Amino acid sequence: MIKKQVKRRIAEFARTYKAAKNDETKLLLVALFVEDAFGIVLSDDDIHEKNFGTHHAIENFVLEKLHLE
């Protein structure tokens, strides 16, 4: 998978998922998406606002984990 594909999949996800009512639920939804879409196994420490709080943070996290940065 290349950077362009990663960014496209994250953008598609951001457009299609419904916003959750609380921050914990939002983080879990993003974490499940990242694991499923990119095959990344996340630790509890990975599921944090700094990694999943913004579109840009998600991109950076995934690209780093996939060694595509």
Containing structural domain, residue 34: 3-65
Average pLDDT over residues 43-62: 94
**What is the Cα 69 distance to its own chain's centre?**
15
Report how far residue 18's alpha carbon sits from residue 10's, in angstroms, rounded to the nearest whole number: 14
Tokens of 50: 């700094």
- SS3 label, residue 61: helix
- Phi and psi angles of residue 60, each rounded to the nearest 5 degrees, phi first: -60, -45
In this prediction, residue 23 carries a pLDDT of 76
> Model pTM?
0.87
How many domains in the chain? Answer: 1
Average pLDDT over residues 52-62: 93
Residues 58, 8 contacting (CB under 8 angstroms): no
- Phi and psi angles of residue 9, each rounded to the nearest 5 degrees, phi first: -65, -40
21-47 per-position pLDDT tens digit: 777 888 899 999 999 999 999 999 999
Query: pLDDT confidence of 69, banded at 50, 70, 90?
Result: confident
